[in-house]
Structure 1
């Protein structure tokens, strides 16, 4: 398979979702899915993915996954807007409206205090708790599930968490989210800081009762040493000491304090988050490229017995599913040729088959599960261009027969249903015939009570 890693992750995600669903609700009706998976001839993991994709399309998990992803993108957008507004609010809270001098260390605490505390908590959680789940990550997952608004999405969130835990990718995915949102917030704070410093006149002071001026001089220069390497200005010792009494009115002092405040925000806020974001992105890509199904899980071991059987089994394989699945018709897009006539559960006293042209193959009468499976396997390998299916409308259109019609139709390029006339002297039940008409219409299969032999031979009537 040549799909990109994201699509591959989505396939593995669907496999885990269906595994959880079957663990909680029992085995699904998967006869056709297993047959299609076995026809691929690939390894067990690829067959499980093929089966999962078929069942997910049929039962709605694929659409639910798309809804979940849409909800995740919408939740991420809301969090990004919140991050931008929060960052701008941090800058406004740090500088104020310019009517009072700015206490530089209070401003610095407003800009970086929460960021540094949460960054320390993330690092400790990564080291001590392993798959640490940050609050923002849990909020994003919760919002994604709520915004999906799809009942079939109930297993998607837990399945994604379990899948990523295999290679401990949760920490890196949530790290991408957390550091990305904090980077946006700090960039927003930095931009708002520049706008405020460019449009208002601020004076800067520091205040203390217990500490001396030398302590503030040393601390200010220590924090400003790294920004100074990037060419950003820092106040000299005289300026720092003088700012302890009152806000200096000189432009040089204002510029030095403004440059120092922005530089500390850049070096201790924006750059660490950017570096950690790139680290999480690298680890995520590296780990997701190696992500695979754990075939030792009981659910996958059971599938291995069905998708790579050592011998064919007869009889009932699975119990009835908790929820019945509506049969579906369709057609194949594979290269097809020839014409086939097959009948389903006819009265043994009926003369069969009719006289057929040489170009039309007779597939006989399907009475047993083994015959049905054998024909489906054969048609899967050699799809016919035209397939006619003869039915006795005196029988009820039960779920198994309708499902078989859908499977047969999906192996051929075109399919027609032949509703056989009853023997002479016997009348059809109009109610039962109407049930057949309604069921075949739901399957989108054309039907008639006359033999479609001319259509089988030439492709037209």
Structure 2
């Protein structure tokens, strides 16, 4: 079994969630299989998603997309190499053997610097800023080739981008592909230029109509500072001003142009590609579904409902009950829920006092359908306060314990109101049972107003 936090499992889990936004899938068998497959909530949810993904075709389409991805990337790289060679040919002037270094530098570095600046700005803004990068083009082409607009591939694409954005990895993942392709393109351009400059004679110069020659002298000196650190020569002022430099001056021009492409083109892209790879390695563990969402909280409650109940009869040799889970107060809303659980027909619900306080009321008969409806409502509302009403004359059982634990997992504070006709012995039986079941943290009482006093 794959690890629950693997990127493939996370993608399938998120894709199933997106599909179920349009309506829940029939998952009773998948739920039972997943409940016994992994003791953790994340593992159970991932196993359920794998089962449903296999049934809906998501697994097959994801495998197809992963098989196509390297071929699409290879095709994209081939196009970039051809474009790089074409650009190098244009820069080298074709049959004229003349190179305008200013035009050459602008054509080779202009688009690169613009897209790099947009990527850097995009690190601070929304993920939509990366839709024009090579990385986004690659992932979009892979989705189109693998499944087009049919099937589940668009859902897988949405799930992938959502997970990357949630883990703050979308710009880094797409940026790695984009920077790597740019670096490869510059490597091809530099290799083609060096080969041509090594075995052919070119005349490198600059031309202007309105600019002063000192502007070019200063520009060449300023741009050549960083390449000079790597040993690339910088043409002196006389060579820059001379319209036809000597052979030594032409060599300095050629190496200066090559050094500018290396320092301002190849090296930044290679460095950012390495940085993106390092960020991916550090943050990839965050590529997991957000289990705090109502959708996943509802699934967790449904799995808990399938867990075999603990024996609540007194048994000196029995291990202690697990402490009930609560919804953190920071994740809860200021909602008051009033739930009547397995009440006799003659007991009205909700009481007028709860209606006056604006409580959201539900009456549960204990059936599976009613429990699923309640779990969905609690997961959606995330109430801070839940008042459970039970008939004081009834006897608590394992079903009551399981119900209370499910409610506790989806709220911050749960209280038990024992009402209806009952003697003191019956009420003491409830309090004793709460302690034996490990639920003594639930405040229970038979007077409604005192129980609601510090809630209002």
CA-to-aligned-CA distance 1:222-262 (integer Å, 9 cap, x gap): 111111111122222221121xx2x33x3312211111010
Q: CA deviation at 1:310?
A: 7.1
Residue pair 2:4, 2:10 contacting (<8 A) in 1 also: no
Report the aligned-residue RMSD.
2.4
Residue pair 1:93, 1:110 contacting (<8 A) in 2 also: no
Q: CA deviation at 1:131?
A: 5.6
Q: Distance in 2 between matches of 1:264 and 1:227?
A: 6
Q: Distance in 1 between matches of 2:75 and 2:69?
A: 10
Q: Distance in 1 between matches of 2:10 and 2:126?
A: 26
Asked if residue 151 in structure 1 is aligned to residue 151 in structure 2, the reply is: yes
Alignment equivalent of 2:292, drawn from 296, 302, 307:
296
Residue pair 2:4, 2:43 contacting (<8 A) in 1 also: no
CA-to-aligned-CA distance 1:433-453 (integer Å, 9 cap, x gap): xxxxxxxxxxxxxxxxxxxxx
Map of 2:19 onto structure 1? 21
Q: Distance in 2 between matches of 1:173 and 1:197?
A: 36
CA-to-aligned-CA distance 1:10-62 (integer Å, 9 cap, x gap): 100000011111111x2222222212221134221111011111222233211
Mapping 1:221-370, distance limit 5 Å:
221-242=221-242, 245=243, 247-248=244-245, 250-309=246-305
Secondary structure at 2:210 match in 1 = coil
Mapping 1:30-179, distance limit 5 Å:
30-129=27-126, 132-136=129-133, 137-149=135-147, 151-179=151-179
- Out of 132-141 and 265-274, give the one that drifted further: 132-141
Residue pair 2:217, 2:240 contacting (<8 A) in 1 also: yes
Q: Distance in 2 between matches of 1:85 and 1:4?
A: 42
Residue pair 1:71, 1:146 contacting (<8 A) in 2 also: no
Secondary structure at 1:29 match in 2 = coil
Secondary structure at 1:308 match in 2 = helix
Map of 2:195 onto structure 1? 195
Q: Distance in 2 between matches of 1:106 and 1:4?
A: 54
Q: Distance in 2 between matches of 1:311 and 1:10?
A: 27
The alpha-carbon distance between structure 1 residues 125 and 290, as it changes in their structure 2 partners (threshold 3 A), is: closer
The alpha-carbon distance between structure 1 residues 304 and 129, as it changes in their structure 2 partners (threshold 3 A), is: closer
Q: Distance in 2 between matches of 1:41 and 1:62?
A: 20
Secondary structure at 1:207 match in 2 = coil
The alpha-carbon distance between structure 1 residues 87 and 4, as it changes in their structure 2 partners (threshold 3 A), is: farther
- Out of 277-286 and 309-318, give the one that drifted further: 309-318
Residue pair 1:239, 1:253 contacting (<8 A) in 2 also: yes
- Out of 282-291 and 101-110, give the one that drifted further: 282-291
Residue pair 1:72, 1:147 contacting (<8 A) in 2 also: no
Q: Distance in 2 between matches of 1:293 and 1:266?
A: 41
Q: Distance in 2 between matches of 1:203 and 1:79?
A: 34
Q: CA deviation at 1:292?
A: 2.2
Number of residue pairs the alignment of both structures matches: 312
Q: Distance in 2 between matches of 1:82 and 1:258?
A: 27
Q: CA deviation at 1:314?
A: 5.6
Secondary structure at 2:25 match in 1 = coil
Long gaps (5+) in structure 2: 309-365, 374-456
Q: Distance in 2 between matches of 1:230 and 1:98?
A: 31
Asked if residue 217 in structure 1 is aligned to residue 214 in structure 2, the reply is: no
Q: Distance in 2 between matches of 1:231 and 1:98?
A: 30
Q: CA deviation at 1:116?
A: 1.2
Q: CA deviation at 1:128?
A: 4.1
Q: CA deviation at 1:100?
A: 4.3
Could you state the TM-score of these two structures normalised by the residue count of structure 1? 0.63
**Highest relative contact order (Cα 8 Å, sep 6+), 1 or 2?**
1
The alpha-carbon distance between structure 1 residues 43 and 3, as it changes in their structure 2 partners (threshold 3 A), is: closer
Residue pair 1:131, 1:170 contacting (<8 A) in 2 also: no
CA-to-aligned-CA distance 1:157-202 (integer Å, 9 cap, x gap): 1111111221221111111121112111111111111121123210
Long gaps (5+) in structure 1: 320-461
Residue pair 1:71, 1:143 contacting (<8 A) in 2 also: no
CA-to-aligned-CA distance 1:385-408 (integer Å, 9 cap, x gap): xxxxxxxxxxxxxxxxxxxxxxxx
